[in-house]
Amino acid sequence: MLEDTGQNRPLVSVIIPTYNRASWLKGAIDSVLEQTFTNFELLIIDDGSTDDTREIIANYGVQVKYFYQPNKGPSAARNSGIKKARADLITFLDSDDRWLKNKLQTQVDLMITDPGIKICYTDEIWIRRGKKVNPKKIHQKYSGWIYQKCLPLCIISPSSVMIYREVFDKVGLFDESLLVCEDYDLWLRISQRYPITFINEPLIIKNGGHEDQLSQRLWGMDRFRVKALEKMLQENSVSTEDKQATIDILIKKCTILANGCFKRSKIEEGNQYISIIERYKYTR
């Protein structure tokens, strides 16, 4: 349940991690400051930017709280924001995304109306290289106990989430060892322990396809999802049914990765995925 925030404590903490995205950052910040809901604090975690990020943020004065740290990656930046946040409700906004004006108000109203909801997320508008695109069927959103729906790929955008701080106390923070798919890893841990509520309304604009995205620079995103899946198999909280579903998707991903490695003559790496398959195929 939400605590009395008093006059000085915000109800919501908004965390924007950023790294060398000066050209995008103003749009993200403005979309927060233009929200119809205003009882929030805005934290910018600059993960070692070398461009004009600091100068852009300086123009906003006391409207934002700016924190600089050496480059450690998106997980470390978000974790830093969580630790510095003062509110019970935590939200994130990637610096290349934007919010629609009623995003925060819609989610706060839901969380206050139903204190049993610990995490919710919204639908989204996709922009790729400046053009609107429609998500594919595999990106369909779900509500409730959605762990198995989260296994194939990440269906929850960090920019769309509102989450109680207590959830992080239970499941931990973002895994800083993962270069990408750190959000996939976190949603698996959360969806195993909590039902997740989906708001079927597009309240964020996701910009993708630009070259500075890690997902554009790294091949084989499933390499990182495999690590997250193996972590889940070590969790005592995973039910028998969910464990079997986890093993099934792990074997499927490892098979695809192994074939890809062999085609690229990465024999040693391919054999590593084969060994993972051998480890789990008889436990289904």
pLDDT (tens place) for every residue of the chain, 284 residues total? 455 455 589 999 999 999 999 999 999 999 999 999 999 999 999 999 999 999 999 999 999 999 999 999 999 999 999 999 999 999 999 999 999 999 999 999 999 999 999 999 999 999 988 889 998 888 999 999 999 999 999 999 999 999 999 999 999 999 999 989 999 999 999 999 999 999 999 999 998 765 555 544 556 799 999 999 999 999 888 899 999 999 999 999 999 999 999 999 999 999 999 999 999 987 76
- Please check whether residues 235 and 147 belong to one and the same domain: no
pTM of the model: 0.92
Write out pLDDT tens, residues 198-218: 999 999 999 876 555 554 455
- Please check whether residues 49 and 104 belong to one and the same domain: yes
- Please check whether residues 246 and 204 belong to one and the same domain: no
Q: What share of the chain is helix, strand, coil (3-state, %, to 5)?
A: 45, 20, 35
How many whole angstroms separate alpha carbon 162 and alpha carbon 234?
Answer: 27
* Domain membership flag for residue 6: no
* Domain membership flag for residue 74: yes
Residue that terminates a domain, selected from 217, 234, 255 = 217
- pLDDT attached to residue 212: 58
Residue pair 212/21 in contact (Cβ under 8 Å)? The answer is yes
- Structural domains counted in the chain: 2
* Domain membership flag for residue 169: yes
- Please check whether residues 252 and 196 belong to one and the same domain: no
Q: How many CB atoms lie within 10 A of CB 96?
A: 21
For 117, the domain range is 12-217
How many whole angstroms separate alpha carbon 203 and alpha carbon 101?
Answer: 8
Residue pair 42/16 in contact (Cβ under 8 Å)? The answer is yes
- pLDDT attached to residue 214: 55
* Domain membership flag for residue 64: yes
* Domain membership flag for residue 237: yes
Query: Any residues with CB less than 8 A from the CB of 145 and at least 6 apart, and which?
Result: 191, 195
Cα dihedral across residues 200, 204, 205, 207: positive or negative: negative
- Please check whether residues 266 and 146 belong to one and the same domain: no
- Please check whether residues 212 and 168 belong to one and the same domain: yes
Write out pLDDT tens, residues 216-248: 455 679 999 999 999 999 988 889 999 999 999
* Domain membership flag for residue 75: yes
- Please check whether residues 155 and 258 belong to one and the same domain: no
Distances (CA, A) of 105 to 37, 97, 109, 112, 161: 5, 18, 6, 11, 13
How many whole angstroms separate alpha carbon 189 and alpha carbon 147?
Answer: 8
Distances (CA, A) of 141 to 77, 111, 122, 146: 26, 19, 9, 9
- Please check whether residues 31 and 44 belong to one and the same domain: yes
- Please check whether residues 17 and 71 belong to one and the same domain: yes
* Domain membership flag for residue 130: yes
- Please check whether residues 72 and 204 belong to one and the same domain: yes
- Please check whether residues 236 and 197 belong to one and the same domain: no
Residue that terminates a domain, selected from 217, 243, 262 = 217
- pLDDT attached to residue 130: 83
- Please check whether residues 160 and 250 belong to one and the same domain: no
* Domain membership flag for residue 2: no
